[in-house]
Each structure stands twice: as C-alpha cells, then as structure tokens.
A and B are shown apart, each in its own frame.
Chain A
Amino acid sequence: MAGGIKRHMEKRLPSTFKIQITSMVDMFVIILVFLLKSYSTSPVNITPNADLRLPTSNSLQEPVDVIKMVISKKGVFIEDKRVVEFDASGSLSSKDIDASDPSFIPGLFKELDEKAKQTQDISKQNETVEFDGRVLMQADRDMPYSLLQKVMYTSMLAGYPNVKLAVAAKDF
C-alpha cells in the first residue's frame, strides 16, 4: 500500500519543473526592436547636457569624424577640454577677447593651433593622415551669431576654415 502511494506521488509531482520564459522572451524582443531603432554608428557622440541643446534640422548628412568644438552655455570646448569659460551671463568676458581684434579669441586659437600642428606633424609621418582644416561646431541653439562669428573667425585663423554645423535630426 505504501509503495502504491509513493508511486502515485512520483507520478503527480515531478521533481523538476520548467520556468515559463515566454513572457520574458516577449519583453526582450520588444526591447531589442527599440534598441535596434536607436542604434548609432555615428562617430559623433553627444552626451545630453542642460548647457547644450542643439537646434533641429531636416539635414540628412551624417556627421564626419573631425575635431569637435562645443559651444555650450558654460564655455567653448575643444573635444572635452574647456578652452574658454563664459561669465555668469553666458557670454565672453573681455579678458578672453583680444584687445586689438574684438573677433579674436586667443585661448581658442592656442588650442586649435596646437591641434593643427599635431595633425600636420602626424601627416608628415603618415601619408594616410591628411590635415583638411575641418571642424564640427556643436553650439547651443540660443547662442547669438556675434559669438559664433568670433569662434568661426578664430578657427579660420588657426587653420580651420571649414566649419561644419552640428544639428539634431528632426525626424527622430
């Protein structure tokens, strides 16, 4: 009799059980589709920042991997290095502008000039590297043209006359 009950329990209650993973797979597939849609291979990365809000544009041109110049409300950055710091009102202070030429920003020129010399030195050794004077400007949407003009003028004098404007895609 006892053997019969044991056999019955073994039959009704298996010692192993299966995890129900179908709903988890459904969830993963939804996440996968979302992530694939927002996947980017662009060489330009922008970290969301309250001090830098790019204007939107219908331009479809992919950005190129050149020197990145960021003009946020805090200052002017070359790559990740701040070369000019704005004052409390978010504009250039008089100490950052050349007294003889009001459009010239010496701090920015110095950094860009160094970058240009570095690239030119590398291009002498390595023929695949070419100095083409291109710079990608990422500016906050509220920045006035008076400031952008100074930045573009200085970058031109430093050997970067080809300024490309970074914008956010409108249809995203």
Chain B
Amino acid sequence: MRIHRTRKADATYDLNLAPFLDIIVSIIPMLLLSVVFVQIRMIETSIPQVVAQKIKEQQEDKKPAVFVSLKIEKGAFGYVVSDNGKKKEFEVAGKNGLLDYDGLAKASANLKRQYVDIFTIDLIPDANVTYDDLVKTLDVVRRLPASEGKVTVKDEKTGQMAETDLMFPNVTFANVVK
C-alpha cells in the first residue's frame, strides 16, 4: 500500500526584505553625506630655509657633491647638474611651443642612471609657468615611467642592492627666496 504524503509547505516562499531595506535606508544617508567626486592627493615639497640649511651644513661639515636643478620655462626644460664643481647643462626642447613631458621623462631617467644616489632636485620655475605645468613636471621627475624600468640603489646600512622607480622625489622650490 502506497503512503500518500501531502505537502503542507510551499516549495517557493517570499524573502522578508524589510530588515535588509531598513539597513540600506540607514546607510545611504550616511554615505551620501560623505560622498566625494574629486579625490584629493598631496605632493610633498619643501621650501629652502637658507639660514637653517647653512647651519646644518656647517654642523655636519659635509656638502653633497652633486646638485641637480631643473629650470621650467614656458616652452622648454633646462637641467643644470653640478658634479663636484663641474657644471653640466642640457635642455629638453618643447614641442610646438609646449613643454615636452615625454622628453623630460627620458632625460630625467638618463640623468638618474648617472646619479642613482641623488634623490633631491631643485626646481626653478619661470614666473609664467602655471600650477598645472608644475604638477605635471613634479609627476614626471618624481618617478621613472614604467617603460624605463627601475634603478638599483645600494643600501649603505645593509650593503644590499634595492630596486626603486623613484627618481627625484625630494623636490625643493629653489627660487622662492630670491
């Protein structure tokens, strides 16, 4: 004899979404208050304090042998490298009257490979250079582009070699104090 079973519960049922909805409705106003459409980032710079720097140099009694400075003019970049008193200058010419950032990236990468231990650069912008051009220049000189690979730097403490894509992250505005 077959036992006939009756199904008391339905195979389908409705989800109770009300509590879930309550949570979402509570979260959304909070998130709406903190929504941002422009993410702000920051670039570290420093301004030379001539007196403080002189005192520090005198206290430490050592001066860096290599200085790298970059002039930014309306249509061209100009590198000035002082290597143990010898001054080398070269220019990255602009294209169609505009600054050539690709050319600057290549020139900066070549310079970095010559002076792997130098991470400081003095920026000397022209009065007409805009803040936008300044930030673009900082972006270029701070890091090596992916196509240029990385440079190998020796860690003086451990003696080990370390790879980095940083070129000149320590940027100083050299002509703030005229």
Contacts and interface: CB of A to CB of B under 8 A. Distances in A.
A61 to B, nearest CB: 5
Given A24-B21, A145-B129, A153-B176, A55 B135 contact: yes
If over half of B's interface residues share one DSSP class (helix, strand or loop), that class is named, otherwise mixed; here it is: mixed
Interface string B67-95: 00000100000000000000000000000
Nearest to A146: B127
A148 B131 contact: yes
Given A39-B31, A48-B37, A162 B46 contact: yes
B130 interface: yes
Interface residues of B, number: 47
B49 interface: yes
B38 interface: yes
B8 interface: no
A172 B35 CA distance: 13
A144 B129 CA distance: 5
A162 B24 CA distance: 43
Contacts of A10: none
Interface residues of A, number: 57
Interface in A44-89: 44-46, 48, 54-64
A138 B135 CA distance: 12
B28 interface: yes
Contacts, number: 160
A25 B17 contact: yes
A42 B40 contact: yes
Interface string B127-163: 1111110111011001100000000000000000000
B131 A168 contact: no
A32 B30 CA distance: 11
Given A63-B41, A152-B47, A39 B131 contact: no
A93 B142 CA distance: 35
A41 B35 CA distance: 9
A145 B125 CA distance: 7
A156 B131 contact: no
B40 A164 contact: no
B176 A156 contact: yes
Given A28-B28, A35-B32, A149-B176, A144 B128 contact: yes
5 contacts: A40-B36, A149-B125, A149-B176, A163-B47, A167-B42
Interface of A: 18, 21-22, 24-25, 28-29, 31-32, 35-36, 38-42, 44-46, 48, 54-64, 103, 136, 138-146, 148-149, 152-153, 156, 161-169, 172
